[in-house]
Amino acid sequence: MRIEVLVDVKTTLGEGPVWDVGQQRLYWLDSADGRILRCTADGRELRAWDVGQKIGSMTLRHSGEQAIVALQNGVHTLDLHRGELALIIDPEPGLPDNRLNDGKVDRQGRFVFGSMDTLEDSASARLYRLDADLSLHTLDENIIVSNGPCWSPSGETFYFCDTWSGEIWAYDYDLVTGAVSNRRTFAKVDTRGGGAADGCTVDAEGCLWQALVYAGQLVRYSPDGKVDRVLEMPVKKVTSLTFGGPNLDTLFVTSMARPPLPRFPADGQQRGALFAITGLGVQGIAERRFAS
């Protein structure tokens, strides 16, 4: 196994990596500075888009050079050629202390994302699903910080966490409607080292990988929720992760250069870098694009 810095861009709050199989490119975010970044699997051809406000997550659309982006004040389309934004919907116009956060596309091409309280204190956030017809649906509520949405290989189990709950949750996921039910605890998060649940992904063997932010660890859970493997990272503030590369066997990991609140710890010289981990002997699952 090898861990290396792929791109040293010092993202203030690196987040949301997405590997696009069609383009063979990695997209990731600087959530705090409002940027989308893109590079090849080996870190070349770096490009960035400035969206002008904090960004929680993104997905590419099925057709054209467009993305769906979850920004501070709502879900927008982004024309990647012109750099133009168009509002689809603002799900929380009456909650100025909230912003949209982590999100991913399900196996049918629906965008599932959540919001967060920017002070990471109040359970004012929700979990949403945006369908191909651009209709919005609430899936869960009473959340502080939405994080880690992902699905089992079959798509029938949905995983999600509220960062400060100390748990990863599993739901039954209806493949036809996108509805969730039967929320239960999938795994308890080890917070003894000061870490908290952040971004997640699922590999081809059905194991869930999670970035344990502030603890500098990546944790792999088996499908029954038991800790299978723990990787120690060279920085403490690892934030999210995804599999990519030509064989979907490189684990890309984002990190933050500066903590969002004063109570969170500082970090070492490699803070904010994008990391690539090879030699894990594990493959990921290709991410879908948004269905419209």
Rounded (10°) CA dihedral 212, 218, 224, 228:
-140
Q: Residues 45, 24: contact at Cβ < 8 Å?
A: no
Ramachandran angles phi, psi of 165, nearest 5°:
-80, -20
Give the CA diameter of the chain: 47
The per-residue pLDDT for 264 is 75
Average pLDDT over residues 79-98: 96
Supply the CATH classification number for the domain 2-278.
2.120.10.30
If DSSP codes are grouped into helix, strand and coil, which group holds residue 164?
A: helix
Mean pLDDT of 228-246: 97
Q: Is the pLDDT of residue 3 over 90?
A: yes
Q: Output the pLDDT for position 49.
A: 98
Answer whether residue 265 shows pLDDT above 80.
no
* Amino acid (1-letter code) at residue 250: T
* pLDDT score for 217: 97
Q: Which residues contact 74 (CB under 8 A, 6 or more apart)?
A: 87, 88, 89, 90, 91, 93, 100
Q: What does the pLDDT look like over 29-84, one tens digit per residue?
A: 999 999 999 999 999 999 999 999 999 999 999 877 999 999 998 999 999 999 99
> Which of 30, 106, 198, 249 is flagged as catalytic?
198
Q: How many residues does the chain have?
A: 292
Q: Which of 52-61, 132-141, 187-196 has the lowest mean pLDDT?
A: 187-196
Residue 259 has what pLDDT?
A: 79
Radius of gyration of the chain (CA): 17
Q: Is 198 a catalytic residue?
A: yes
Q: Higher confidence at residue 264 or residue 171?
A: 171
Mean pLDDT of 205-229: 97
Task: Write out pLDDT tens, residues 243-263.
Answer: 999 999 999 999 999 877 777
Our CA dihedral for 26, 31, 33, 37, rounded to 10 degrees, sits at 10
Domain extent listing, the chain: 2-278
At 204 the pLDDT is 98
pLDDT of residue 291: 96
**Tokens found for residue 216:** 């500098």
Per-residue pLDDT band for 268 (boundaries 50, 70, 90) equals confident
pLDDT at residue 10, rounded to an integer: 94
Determine the straight-line distance between the first and last CA of the chain, rounded to whole angstroms: 38
Q: What percent of the chain has pLDDT over 90?
A: 92
